[in-house]
Structure 1
Amino acid sequence: MTKRHLISTLALGGATALALSGCASGAEAETLDNGDRQDLTIAVFNGWDEGIAASELWKAVLQEQGYDVELEYADAAPVFQGLSDGDYDVTLDTWLPITHADYVEKYGDDIVDLGAWNEDAKLTIAVNEDAPVDSLADLAANADAFDDRLVGIEPGSGLNRVTTDSVIPTYGLDGMDYLTSSTPAMLAELTAATDAGENIAVTLWRPHWAYDAFALKDLEDPEGTLGDAEGIHSFGSSSLEDSHPTLAGWLKDFRMDSELLYSLENAMFNENDTDDYGPIVEQWIADNQEYVDSLTS
C-alpha cells in the first residue's frame, strides 16, 4: 500500500501573485483578456483532501489560462474570516447545509455562494473493517476494544462541532477520549493502527482517499446525528464577481462527480509519496482532457 506523504499545514501553492490595486505601490492589477484580474488567491482547508484536489486542479487549469494563482492553507475559521475580509478570493470546500453552516451564517453577508460542485459529501465515524461494532449505538459498550479513544481532526472544523455537539452526547460517548489535533495527525493514527492490526475509530468524511487506502467501514448512525449527504460549494469574496467575472461563471457551472474526484485524489494522495502535486495533476488532466476542457468552455 502506498502511503500519502502528509501535507505541511503551512504549504503554499504555485506562483506568487502580482501586486493588487490598492497596494502601497498604487499599481493597478493586471487584467486578462477575459476581463478577470490576473492574480487569484484560493484558500484551502488544512487536511481536507477533496478541497486540496479541487484547488490544485483549478490552479493548473487557470495557470494555463494565464492567471497567477496562489494557494494558501488555513483552518476553516481563518479561511472564512479571510474570505469575508477580501484577503482570499475563493475557497472550494464549503459543506452545506450542515458542516460549515455556522461560518456561512456568520459571514454570509460578506461572501458569495457560487453553488455546489459535488452533492455526495457525507460526514462519518469510520472504523477498521473487522472492528467488532457496526453502529454508533454499540460503540460506547465496546469502547475498550478501541482503547477508549475516538480520533478526530481539527478543533475548528465543522466535523468536530457535529461530533462534539451531537454524536458524542446522543450515543453516550463521553467516556471515550476524544482526541482532536489535525487531519494529518488523524491519518497518522489510522496508518499506525492499520499497520499494527489494531481497532481504531476516527472522524472522517466521504469523499476521501482513505476509503481506498484502508479497509474501513462507516458506523451506522441510527439517530441521524451526522446528517444526510451534503453539497460541496465554492464560495467567493464579495468582490469576486467584479474582480473575476469570468471565473465566477466557470465556478458556478463547475461539477465533479465522486468517481472523478476519487480518481484525482487517488493519484495525488494514495499513489504519490510527495507533496509535489503539479506533475500528478498535469498527468490527470491529460488523462481526462475532455472533462477538463469543459471547465472553461
Structure 2
Amino acid sequence: MRKKLASLMAVAAASTLALTACGSDSGAAAGPENGDKKELTVGVFAGWDEGLAVSHLWERILAKKGYDVTLTSADVAPVFSGISTGDFDMAMDVWLPETHATQAEKYGDKIVELGTWTENAKLTVAVNKDADIESLDELAGKADMFGNRIVGIDPGAGLTKAMNDRVIPQYGLEKMDFVTSSTPAMLTELKKATGAGDDILVTLWRPHWAYDAFDIKDLKDPKGTLGDAEHISTYGSLTFKEDFPTLAGWMKDFKIDDEHLFSLENAMFNGADTQEYAPIVDQWISENQEWVDSLTAAKK
C-alpha cells in the first residue's frame, strides 16, 4: 500500500500466484457464454493485501463462470507496464489520486479505468481501542502511555516516509522511538499487545484486515499529515472492454465495504500459513454467498 507502503516484500518481476484449472468443472471447460474471452490475466501488486484479496475473490467467482484466470504477482511498475502492453488484462489495486499518480500519468493513454471499488483508502496511526487518546495532537503529552514507542513497518515504505517527514515533526514527536522493521513484525507486536490488554501505537492503513482482527482505532490527524483519503480502482488494457464486455460491466459496478473486505483479508492472511488461497476464499464465499452473487447479478 502506499504499502504502498511500498515494497512489503521483495519480489522478482513476476511470479505466478494461481491458475484456475478447468478439469472437473464442465462450465469452466466450455468457457464463459457472455461474449467475454475465456483467458484473463490479472496483475497483482506483491504484498498489497487488499489487492490480493479482491483479486483472489474475483478469480474464484470467474472460475466458476468458465473463465481461465491467471493471477501474477509483481511490483507496481511491471504491473502498470504489463497492462499498457496487454500482457496483463487488468489490475485491481490502483491508488489515486496520490499513490500511483506517477504511473497513472506515465501510462495514462495506454490503460483504461474500469471502476472504483473503495473510496476510503488512507494511511493511519492506530492504537488499541481502549487507549485514553483520540488524536495525534495529544500524543506528545501521552507518549509514556505507549512506552515512548511508535511501532512502524518497513523503513522504505511510503507510510514510514510520511511519518518521518510530516507526522513526527509536525506533532512534536521527535523524542519518541520510531521503530521500523517490517509489516509482519508490526502485526506481531499489535497482536501480542492487544491480546495482553496493553497499550500500543502502530502505523497502519485502510483497508487492512487488522481492523477486523484486533480491537483498534485510528487517531485523528487534524493537521492532515497522513494525506487525504484515496480511492482504489481497477485498470485494464485498452482492449479490455472489447475483450471482456460483461466483466467490464461487473468491474464498473463492483464495490466492497470495509466489513466484507476486512473479513475476507482476515480469513486469508491472519494466521493462514499458506498462499493456497482458493479453499479459504471458497469458504468465505459460501459464508457470504448472497452478497457475492449480487456482484454478477443482472441489473434490473
- Cα shift readout 1:66-97 (whole Å, capped 9, x = no counterpart): 22222223343443344334443222122333
Q: RMSD value over aligned CA atoms?
A: 3.5
Q: Secondary structure at the match of 2:208?
A: coil
Q: Does 1:60 align with 2:60?
A: yes
Distance of aligned partners of 1:285 and 1:17 in 2 relative to their CA distance in 1, 3 Å threshold: closer
User: Displacement, 1:167?
Assistant: 2.6
Q: Distance in 1 between matches of 2:167 and 2:91?
A: 27
Unaligned runs of 5+ in 1: 1-6, 19-29
C-alpha contact (below 8 Å) 2:18/2:72 kept by paired residues? no
- Find the counterpart in structure 2 of residue 15 from structure 1: 19
Q: Distance in 1 between matches of 2:197 and 2:153?
A: 22
C-alpha contact (below 8 Å) 1:43/1:72 kept by paired residues? yes
- Cα shift readout 1:80-120 (whole Å, capped 9, x = no counterpart): 34433444322212233334334323433332222211233
Q: Does 1:234 align with 2:238?
A: no
Alignment of 1:45-194 (within 5 A): 45-131=45-131, 133-140=133-140, 142-143=142-143, 146=146, 149-154=149-154, 158-160=158-160, 162-174=162-174, 176=176, 178=178, 182-194=182-194
User: Displacement, 1:143?
Assistant: 4.8
User: Displacement, 1:58?
Assistant: 0.2
Q: Does 1:41 align with 2:41?
A: yes
User: Displacement, 1:56?
Assistant: 1.1
C-alpha contact (below 8 Å) 2:211/2:262 kept by paired residues? no
TM-score of the superposed pair, with normalisation by structure 1: 0.76
C-alpha contact (below 8 Å) 2:84/2:110 kept by paired residues? yes
Q: Distance in 2 between matches of 1:84 and 1:168?
A: 38
User: Displacement, 1:221?
Assistant: 0.6
- Find the counterpart in structure 1 of residue 282 from structure 2: 282
Q: Distance in 2 between matches of 1:78 and 1:144?
A: 44
Greater mean alpha carbon deviation, residues 69-78 or residues 168-177:
168-177
User: How many equivalent pairs are there?
Assistant: 280
User: Displacement, 1:179?
Assistant: 5.1
User: Displacement, 1:254?
Assistant: 0.9
Unaligned runs of 5+ in 2: 1-7, 23-29
Distance of aligned partners of 1:226 and 1:197 in 2 relative to their CA distance in 1, 3 Å threshold: same
Distance of aligned partners of 1:9 and 1:277 in 2 relative to their CA distance in 1, 3 Å threshold: farther
C-alpha contact (below 8 Å) 2:31/2:67 kept by paired residues? no
Q: Distance in 2 between matches of 1:139 and 1:118?
A: 30
Distance of aligned partners of 1:87 and 1:179 in 2 relative to their CA distance in 1, 3 Å threshold: farther
Distance of aligned partners of 1:259 and 1:105 in 2 relative to their CA distance in 1, 3 Å threshold: same
- Cα shift readout 1:7-31 (whole Å, capped 9, x = no counterpart): 987674321799xxxxxxxxxxx98
Q: Distance in 2 between matches of 1:139 and 1:82?
A: 44
TM-score of the superposed pair, with normalisation by structure 2: 0.75
- Identity of matched residues, %: 59
